[in-house]
Structure formats: structure tokens, C-alpha cells
Amino acid sequence: MDENDDVYALLGVQPIRAEILRVTLARHQVTAAELMEELDLTRNGVGKHLTELTNAGLLVERRATHPRGTGGIIYWSADRAAITNALLTLVGRILSHPRI
């Protein structure tokens, strides 16, 4: 258990989604299979998280032909600007002082 897990839970953040964002930010693009291997996730698990992060606008998906020509493949990349904006919005909300 990560020392930040309690903070994540209090803020409603799923640690695995933070890890997916971290890995995706560190690379140009990732596939579901790469995330499954690196983060020890099932196909259904990674798919659910990728869908939610994409729907939130934090990840962008790109469909392409598999490099081996064996069908389609989806690559995900992080939208750095959207992630930065989301974090700044959260920090702003936490640090703002309401005027009384």
C-alpha cells in the first residue's frame, strides 16, 4: 500500500488511474497490453480505466493498424494540458478561501 493511498481515498482518486496517467505521461503512447503487463491489470480492468480517463479528456486514443498487420490496435497518449488543468483546478479549489 502506497503512503498516499489514504489521501487518494479521501479525495476520491483511484490510485491505479493515477498510475495509468503516470505511465502514459512518461511515454509517447501506450497500448492496453503494455499497461496490463506493467501494472498487473486484467484486460477488463485496464479497459474500464482507459475508457473513464478518455471520457474525462485526460487520455486521447488513436486507432491504427497493428504493426504486424494483424488487425487494429489502439494507442493512448496523455493530454498533458488537460491533466495540468485538472490538477490546477483541484489545487485552486483546495487552496481558495471563500469570502465571507
Q: How does pLDDT run along the chain (100 residues), one tens digit per residue? A: 567 778 877 878 899 999 999 999 999 899 999 999 999 999 999 999 999 999 999 999 999 988 777 788 999 999 999 999 999 988 888 888 665 4
What pLDDT sits at residue 5? 75
Give the burial string for 33-64 (b: 16+ CB within 10 Å, else e): ebbeeeeebeeeebeebbeebeeeebbeeeee
* Apex 49 CA angle, 77 and 69, nearest 5: 55
Domains present along the chain, CATH in parentheses:
5-95 (1.10.10.10)
What pLDDT sits at residue 2? 66
